[in-house]
Amino acid sequence: MKPAADFVPLTLCVLTVSDSRTAEADTSGDFLVDALTGAGHRLQQRAIVKDDRYHMRAIVSSWIADDGVHGILITGGTGFTGRDSTPEAIEPLLDKLMPGFGEMFRAVSIEEIGTSSLQSRAFAGLANQTFVFCLPGSTSACRTAWEKIIQSQLDARTRPCNLAGLRPRLGER
């Protein structure tokens, strides 16, 4: 059996998409920042943006273009209301979709919220060698995504494989 790899801290950004949250009331963003730093990763930047696809794209594009950013966690805007536009804003920026993330998120969410999990449009992908995770806006959904999926995949010690371990090979042609 292969020996466990060493932990490799990643540099991450957190974006909250909301028409109503402020820095003082952003419990989902707070949770994600606390979770990623508690796990040993570094926070590069954090922002809150209204649910406007062009403002979202501007922020996320700048983070994707920064070679020092390894991942982006976005919370909010993944529902079905008229203002929810995170998938429409972010998916065009992705080089590759990660369909298994959304499928897995909905599968683990069913334990907590039952069939309401079908309303989640959570998704993930890769853009310019940067992992992008788009999560619902509720703090409990962010906790579920982090604790049951993202945390272990961003940890190079997770076996048999993890996203962090792929980082050196993401730029291969």
With respect to residue 46, please indicate whether it lies within any of the assigned structural domains: yes
Quote the pTM value: 0.95
What is the mean predicted confidence (pLDDT) over 2-15?
Answer: 87
Backbone angles phi, psi at 118, to 5 degrees: -65, -15
Alpha-carbon distance 26 to 77, whole Å?
Answer: 14
With respect to residue 169, please indicate whether it lies within any of the assigned structural domains: no
pLDDT higher than 50, residue 45: yes
Alpha-carbon distance 79 to 88, whole Å?
Answer: 11
pLDDT for the residue 172? 81
With respect to residue 3, please indicate whether it lies within any of the assigned structural domains: no
With respect to residue 123, please indicate whether it lies within any of the assigned structural domains: yes
With respect to residue 138, please indicate whether it lies within any of the assigned structural domains: no
Full residue range of the structural domain in which residue 104 is found: 11-127+145-164
Alpha-carbon distance 42 to 36, whole Å?
Answer: 7
Share of the chain above pLDDT 90, in %: 77
Question: What is the count of structural domains for the chain?
Answer: 1
With respect to residue 132, please indicate whether it lies within any of the assigned structural domains: no
pLDDT digits (tens, 9 = 90+) for 138-159: 999 999 999 999 999 999 999 9
With respect to residue 6, please indicate whether it lies within any of the assigned structural domains: no
**How many other C-beta atoms can be found within 10 angstroms of the C-beta atom of residue 85?**
17
Read off the CATH number of the domain in which 96 is found: 3.40.980.10
With respect to residue 134, please indicate whether it lies within any of the assigned structural domains: no
